[in-house]
Amino acid sequence: MNLDLLNSILLTVFASFLVNGIITLLDKLSVLEWVQGNGNKFFSKMFSCHFCLAHHLSLLFVLPMFFIGGNWFDLFVPLSVAGIITLVK
C-alpha cells in the first residue's frame, strides 16, 4: 500500500474526530443557532448544513498540511470527512 495513501487515511480519521468535536462544541455553545439567526445568507445556510460545515472546517485543517507536505491525496480528505460527519450526525 502506498505510504501517502495510508497517511491520508489516518488524516481522514483524525480530521473526522477533530471536526466532529468542533461541531459538537459549537452546537453545545449554541453558536450554530446564533449564526443561523444573525449571520448573512451564506453563513446562515452553511451553519445549517452539517455536510457544508464539516467540509469547510476540514478544508481549513487540511490545506496547510497539503502545502507543507505536498501530498495530493490530502485534497480528497475534506469530502471524505464531510461524508463521515453527515453519516454520524
How do residues 20-72 score in pLDDT, each as one tens digit? 999 999 999 999 999 999 989 988 988 998 899 999 999 999 999 889 888 88
Of 70 and 14, the structure prediction assigns the larger pLDDT to 14
Q: What is the pTM of this model?
A: 0.84
Confidence of residue 1 (pLDDT cuts 50, 70, 90): low
For the chain, the C-alpha Rg in angstroms (whole number) is 14
* Residue 73 CB-half CA count within 13 A: 11
Which pLDDT does position 27 carry in this prediction?
A: 93
Nearest-angstrom CA–CA distance, 75 and 37: 32
Only one residue has cell 490530502, namely 74
Tell me the average pLDDT of the chain.
89
Contact indicator for 60, 36 with CB cutoff of 8 Å: no
What pLDDT does residue 34 have? 94
Residue identified by cell 449571520 is 39
DSSP secondary-structure letter at 39? S
